[in-house]
Amino acid sequence: MSNDYIAKMIDLSCVQANSSYEEMQEAIALADKYNVAAVFVLPAHLEYAQKYAKENSYNATFAATAGFPSGSTTTASKIVEAQRQIASGCREVDMVNNITWLKANELEKYRNDIQMVKDSIGDIPLKVILECHYLTNEQIATACEICAQVGVAFVKTGTGWAATGATLENVTLMKKVVGDRCEVKAAGGVRDIETVIAMIERGVTRFGIGVRTAKAILGEDLNEDLTQSNY
């Protein structure tokens, strides 16, 4: 698989609480070089990132987070967060689902949370972050089915903030449930090209990856520890 093919599946992420401006700058430069799918920063840093890209003539597509990382903000808050970032130029939204409602089997509230955010952003693609680390396989399957019925663009494994990230097992399950109704994004723990290829073979079409890991996967000359989180 060529770098161009893989790069178009990468969302570069600087969404840790301690992500620095320097990391954001590096992500934006890498996005421009490889034409990756999108760059994610936390909402408070979006204005800075967009200004940096413009001032340096970097071509980067920005995407938004909503309810990140817990998923337990109100639906109204998620809507405002998403809409404000879209108004600033973000072209996709990654929203964290309400894990408590899912685990408590309060499925009407769970579905409405996703549906209302989707309705509020129109044609902008919505990715729903499940945070599989905290869920059983049955709960993952339930979440995926609801998301597919609502018509989201992607179901996503996690935020990268949990103790474990994407696994071959959970992406296989997610793809089996959603089929062709929506796509699957893997985030967290994707640190090498072998894992990327294995997940593509299981139906993954987007990856949330940190800057250092993305450089390694894309063949940049890099000698750094890749134990950082990927999102």
Among all residues, which ones are annotated catalytic?
94, 156, 185
Q: Which residues contact 220 (CB under 8 A, 6 or more apart)?
A: none
3-class secondary structure, 32: helix
Q: Within 10 Å of residue 140's Cβ, how many Cβ atoms?
A: 22
Torsion of CA 98, 159, 166, 188, to 10 degrees: -170
Q: Which residues contact 38 (CB under 8 A, 6 or more apart)?
A: 11, 12, 31, 61, 62, 63, 91, 92
SS3 content of the chain, % helix, strand, coil (to 5): 45, 15, 40
- Which residue do the tokens 């109100």 mark? 74
Strands 204-209 and 183-187: parallel
3-class secondary structure, 140: helix
DSSP assignment of 73-128 equals S-HHHHHHHHHHHHHTT---EEEE--HHHHHTT-HHHHHHHHHHHHHHTTTS-EEE
